[in-house]
């Protein structure tokens, strides 16, 4: 009997080892070719590896004696994929005009984006994503390359002459249940992370290093729209927790404004998703907490921007520390709304509501700046170190603010 059991165990073990040998690797070091091809091959093998990809440091080889990954195009993540970056560096090449990472349901020519679920991008240890040494394009779709913002594609025939969604570092579109954690984004080409119509997500422990000007080939060049985290229209039930560092533009933002295009997959926009008037494009149930950083270009640390009839509600901002160094003064630590006529001007009362702002330490010109409308909200526990303003700033006029409780405000002379 013992002999029979031993034989059975031996056969099962051999079968298991054979199965393992036949399973494609989820480590890009085990593949050949360009780095983008190797990483995508490991991602494509994820369904046979419980949906998991492991990306350690690049193993130097005959093709390149370096330990960092160099991307020529975006890593595309299909549904039900978890990708672990383990003590490694990822950099965009000078050939790349694309994201670091994008949900695979969106891209050039995909006019209608189908929803997907369960994406996780997790950094383990020290993980850093670097922009290219010579970016082909920077900025958003309102910025012309070589005129307002840097890009080696400036003046090149056949290449788009404005920025677009490809300049975003990590781009998730219509993703339900997601997680992005423990990654540093350094000298991004535009927004480091953008989420369109995403829900049930956690974004945490991210660090940013980006400026509105960069030294490239001995010259100081403008690189615009380098936000940190942006939530766009149609985002719900998301937590942003543990943001640090600095960006050239807003560090954390909700930018729910009119879509620039109705059809998806176009290159004339900073958004890649399709939109219809029948959809719920509101943004609600958002928590932003534990933010310690500043906007190096003098913009906002946390910005809430809804416009053109898009509603924003149930937002908690809890714990924002303005860490601006000497010589840097942001416009606002917290900014709510906007009066830009291109977006429809000041939003009607009720479009932005149920916002709680608490535990803020500000060095900015405005600790809390209301530039649009706000109703039924609370602003409390604010320490204001700025000598340029006192109290809550009603830029759009007090008539656009209703039932907002202001308490525990302290002004401290520097």
Which pLDDT tens digit goes with each residue over 258-307? 766 689 999 999 999 998 877 889 999 999 999 999 999 999 999 999 99
- pLDDT for position 22: 58
Lookup: tokens for 386: 């700025």
* DSSP of 284-313: EEEEEEEEEEEETTS-EEEEEEE-TT--EE
Task: Please compute the mean of the pLDDT values over residues 97-118 and round it to a whole number.
Answer: 98
Q: In the 8-state DSSP scheme, what is residue 348?
A: P
Q: Where would I find the beta strands (DSSP E) of 309-373? A: 312-322, 332-336, 352-362, 366-370
Helix (H) or strand (E) run with residue 169 in it: none
φ, ψ dihedrals at 46, nearest 5° = -55, -40
Q: In the 8-state DSSP scheme, what is residue 162?
A: B
Q: How far apart are CA 288 and CA 320, in angstroms?
A: 9
Lookup: tokens for 155: 């003046």
* CA gyration radius, the chain: 23
Q: How far is CA 300 from each of CA 102, 254, 308, rounded to the nearest angstrom?
A: 26, 12, 21
Q: Which strands sit side by side in the sheet containing 366-370, from one edge to the other?
A: 75-77, 101-103, 170-173, 193-196, 229-231, 252-256, 300-306, 332-336, 366-370, 393-394
Spatial contact of 346 and 400, defined as CB atoms under 8 Å apart? yes
* DSSP of 97-151: -S-SEEETT--TT--SPPPEEEEEEEEESS-EEE--SS-S--S-TT-BBTTTB--
Which pLDDT tens digit goes with each residue over 119-144? 999 999 999 999 999 999 999 999 99
Q: How far apart are CA 2 and CA 296, in angstroms?
A: 72
Spatial contact of 347 and 297, defined as CB atoms under 8 Å apart? no
Position 18 confidence tier, pLDDT thresholds 50, 70, 90: very low
Which pLDDT tens digit goes with each residue over 172-216? 999 999 999 999 999 999 999 999 999 999 999 999 999 999 999
Lookup: tokens for 308: 């053109």
Q: What count of residues does the chain have?
A: 414
User: In the Cβ-directed half-sphere of 391, how many Cα atoms lie within 13 Å?
Assistant: 6
- pLDDT for position 179: 98
Spatial contact of 211 and 245, defined as CB atoms under 8 Å apart? no
């Amino acid at each position: 009997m013992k002999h029979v059991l031993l034989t059975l165990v031996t056969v099962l073990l051999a079968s298991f080892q054979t199965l393992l040998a036949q399973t494609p690797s989820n480590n890009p070091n085990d593949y050949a070719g360009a780095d983008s091809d190797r990483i995508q091959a490991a991602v494509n093998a994820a369904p046979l590896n419980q949906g998991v990809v492991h990306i350690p440091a690049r193993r130097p080889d005959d093709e390149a004696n370096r330990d960092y990954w160099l991307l020529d195009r975006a890593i595309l993540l299909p549904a039900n994929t978890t990708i672990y970056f383990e003590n490694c560096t990822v950099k965009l090449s000078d050939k790349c005009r694309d994201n670091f990472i994008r949900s695979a349901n969106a891209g050039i020519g995909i006019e209608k984006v189908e929803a997907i679920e369960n994406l996780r991008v997790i950094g383990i240890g020290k993980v850093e994503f670097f922009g290219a040494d010579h970016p082909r394009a920077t900025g958003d779709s309102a910025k012309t390359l070589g005129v307002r913002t840097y890009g080696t594609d400036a003046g090149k025939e056949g290449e788009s002459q404005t920025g677009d969604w490809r300049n975003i570092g990590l781009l998730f579109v219509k993703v339900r249940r997601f997680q992005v954690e423990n990654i540093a984004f350094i000298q991004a080409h535009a927004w480091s992370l953008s989420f369109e119509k995403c829900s049930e997500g956690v974004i945490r422990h991210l660090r940013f290093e980006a400026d509105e000007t960069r030294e490239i080939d001995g010259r100081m060049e403008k690189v615009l729209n380098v936000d940190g985290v942006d939530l766009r229209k149609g985002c719900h039930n998301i937590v942003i927790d543990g943001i640090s560092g600095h960006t050239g533009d807003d560090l954390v933002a909700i930018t729910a404004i009119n879509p620039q295009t109705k059809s998806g997959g176009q290159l004339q926009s900073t958004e890649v998703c399709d939109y219809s008037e029948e959809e719920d494009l509101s943004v609600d149930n958002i928590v932003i907490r534990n933010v310690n950083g500043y906007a190096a270009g003098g913009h906002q640390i946390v910005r809430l921007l809804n416009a053109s009839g898009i509603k924003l509600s149930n937002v908690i901002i809890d714990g924002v520390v303005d860490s601006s160094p000497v010589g840097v003064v942001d416009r606002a630590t917290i900014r709510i709304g906007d009066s830009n006529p291109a977006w429809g001007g000041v939003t009607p009362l009720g479009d932005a509501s149920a916002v709680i702002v608490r535990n803020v330490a500000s060095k900015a010109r405005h600790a809390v700046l209301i530039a649009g409308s706000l109703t039924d909200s609370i602003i409390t526990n604010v320490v204001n170190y700025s000598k340029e303003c006192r109290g809550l700033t009603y830029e759009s006029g007090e008539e656009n603010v209703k039932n907002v409780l202001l308490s525990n405000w302290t002004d401290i002379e520097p």
